[in-house]
Amino acid sequence: FTPTLVSTGGGTCTYTLQQGSYTRIGNRVLFNLFVIISNNGLSPGSLTIAGLPIAAATTCSLAVFAQTLGAGVVTQVMAATANASTAIGISQYAAGNAGDINANTLTNTSQFAISGQYIV
């Protein structure tokens, strides 16, 4: 599958790499994705990663690695599947509060590696 960064504010990114792989076993999907941005053209807004191969039946927490985000903006990045969706919500924990990560925190070299499993 091809993961794509999406902002509620609109716009598009160009990528150095968009890679996704998955295996379905019964009602579980196990997956890995890796995205490297080469040009952040997203407008400010909540960030998601679209393109999961099969819609999730429930919300599931995922393992995420992110780097080269805006300096000093985000202290921890979290990800979870969205119920009845093929998108992954990206959240941040900064200054003692959790909330959606904003597309304007991305740089032209931001990277996301996310892996996990979810129920379908």
- pLDDT digits 0-9 by tens, 19-62: 999 999 999 999 999 999 999 999 999 999 999 999 999 999 99
Q: Which amino acid is at 72?
A: G
CB 92 within 8 A of CB 100: yes
State the CB neighbour count (10 A cutoff) for residue 4. Answer: 16
How far apart are alpha carbons 95 and 28 in whole angstroms? 35
Which residue would you say has higher pLDDT here, 99 or 22? 22
How far apart are alpha carbons 61 and 11 in whole angstroms? 27
Position 68 scores a pLDDT of 82
If you average pLDDT over residues 79-104, what whole number do you get?
A: 89
| pLDDT tens digits, 7-27 | 999 999 999 999 999 999 999
pTM for the full predicted model:
0.91
Q: Which amino acid is at 114?
A: I
